[in-house]
Amino acid sequence: MEKTWFVERPYPNEKDISSCGLIGLINTDGRRVPGELIRDAMANMHDRGNGLGGGFGAYGIYPTWQDHYCMHVMYEDQSKVVPLEAFLYDKLRVDHVEEIPVAASRKIRKYPYFRRYFIAPPAADESEADTFMVETVMEINQADNGAFVISSGRNMGVFKGVGYPEDIYDFFRLDEYEGYIWTAHNRFPTNTPGWWGGAHPFSLLDWSIVHNGEISSYGINRRYLEMFGYVCALQTDTEVVAYLLDLLVRRHGLTFEQASAVLAPPLWKDIDAMPAPKKEEFKKMRMIYASASLNGPFAFLLAYSGGLIGLNDRVKLRPLVVARKDKTWYMSSEESAIRVVEPELEEMFAPPAGKPFIVELDKAPAAV
């Protein structure tokens, strides 16, 4: 069968200039809305991508199964389903399975096969269940089995592939879903291949990441994560960010502010100027988590079931703007993309370099 993973490029070794577009919205009152707003915003940033990757992350889309993990699996073809499902049924309690509905078009003709699995928590203790699910995802993704898990959280899902975001949106029939958080990405791959698994968002449990930029520290970040059992199998630098977030926040218990200071560490001269208690805290984090720090230009949106975080690198080499209307917050690469869907904004600003802007459900936003 013809491969569907990769798209042939006429000059595969030619480096493209980095671009990428991203946007996210969160309704802090938990109100669920269709993804049409995000689709229209991404269509406005069409020229930030080159058709080699688009994707969406959505939270609150599976209320009937909200207590189950939902595993979205991308298969090279349908022949790979039986062996993986034998593994899943042997290891997990799968309560419901179905195809992810898609709509092929002239713009997206070659594509993998998608299924989703609603899995009961495999342990009474939530932390043990999360750890078990992470280990299962790593085991599947590193196996040579023609299948990859692209999301594995509760009441959320990732939908991504090769194409422009508006085409991916139509392909996955996302007009049929409603969520209280939506994120989206338009990819312009530079050093990594354009393939279905390499599109954004990258996700693990309920963490999901969309990224504009380049992680030049990918090698050391990947090796650091491997010490803790994470496996980077999707051939794109952004993958490390999802796993680092899981390691730092879920496993090591850091706050989002502390985790952000690890990912985008303050300059030493800025640490030296901090008051004594904070100065010592940041010195320790820079030394302990040196191999988890990210180098290179980036703007991220970090989503999880309770909120949305925007973060730039410490010298702001990629654009990021934040806006609000009532209880809806937007974060995007461009102001114009936000104004397409909400022209009457109550506030609009750009967060400072290296400082996270955190919006959580039913809480006031935190600018650190």
Q: Confirm whether 52 is domain-assigned.
A: yes
**Residue in the structure block whose two tokens are 């200039």:** 17
**Residue 341 clears pLDDT 90, i.e. is over it:** yes
Q: Which positions are catalytic? A: 20
- Residue 239 CA to residue 254 CA, distance in Å, equals 20
Q: At CA 30, angle to CA 27 and CA 36, rounded to 5? A: 55
Q: Average of pLDDT values for 222-227? A: 96
Q: Confirm whether 352 is domain-assigned.
A: yes
pLDDT tens digits for range 51-82:
889 999 999 999 999 999 999 999 999 999 99
Q: Where do the DSSP E strands lie in the chain?
A: 21-27, 33-34, 54-59, 69-75, 94-99, 113-119, 147-151, 156-161, 178-179, 181-186, 202-204, 207-213, 298-304, 307-312, 321-325, 328-332, 347-349, 357-360, 366-367
pLDDT tens digits for range 91-142:
999 999 999 999 988 889 889 999 999 999 888 788 899 999 999 999 999 9
CATH number of the domain residue 86 falls in = 3.60.20.10
Q: Which domain holds residue 264?
A: 38-367
Q: Confirm whether 266 is domain-assigned.
A: yes
Q: At CA 257, angle to CA 252 and CA 261, rounded to 5? A: 85
pLDDT tens digits for range 14-32:
444 447 999 999 999 999 9
- Residue 314 identity (one-letter amino acid): R
- Residue 339 CA to residue 232 CA, distance in Å, equals 36
pLDDT tens digits for range 244-289:
999 999 999 999 999 999 999 998 999 999 998 889 999 999 999 9
Could you give the C-alpha distances from 258 to 216, 253, 356, in angstroms and in order? 21, 10, 10
Q: How many structural domains does the chain have?
A: 1
Q: Confirm whether 163 is domain-assigned.
A: yes
pLDDT reported for residue 126? 85
pTM summary value: 0.92
**234 or 12: which carries more pLDDT confidence?**
234
Q: Confirm whether 51 is domain-assigned.
A: yes
Q: Residue 8: which pLDDT band, with cuts at 50, 70 and 90? A: low
pLDDT reported for residue 3? 52
Q: Confirm whether 22 is domain-assigned.
A: no
**Residue 197 clears pLDDT 80, i.e. is over it:** yes
The top-scoring range by mean pLDDT among 1-5, 125-129, 186-190, 346-350 is: 346-350
- Residue 169 CA to residue 172 CA, distance in Å, equals 6
Decide: helix, strand or coil at residue 300.
strand
Smallest Cα–Cα separation from 316: which of 358, 273, 271, 267?
A: 267
pLDDT reported for residue 51? 84
pLDDT tens digits for range 293-328:
999 999 999 999 999 999 999 989 999 999 999 999
Q: Confirm whether 10 is domain-assigned.
A: no
Q: Average of pLDDT values for 165-174? A: 96
- Residue 325 CA to residue 103 CA, distance in Å, equals 33
Instruction: Identify the bridge partners of residue 156 per DSSP, sorted by sequence position.
Output: 59
Q: Confirm whether 229 is domain-assigned.
A: yes
Q: Residue 152: which pLDDT band, with cuts at 50, 70 and 90? A: very high
pLDDT reported for residue 11? 46
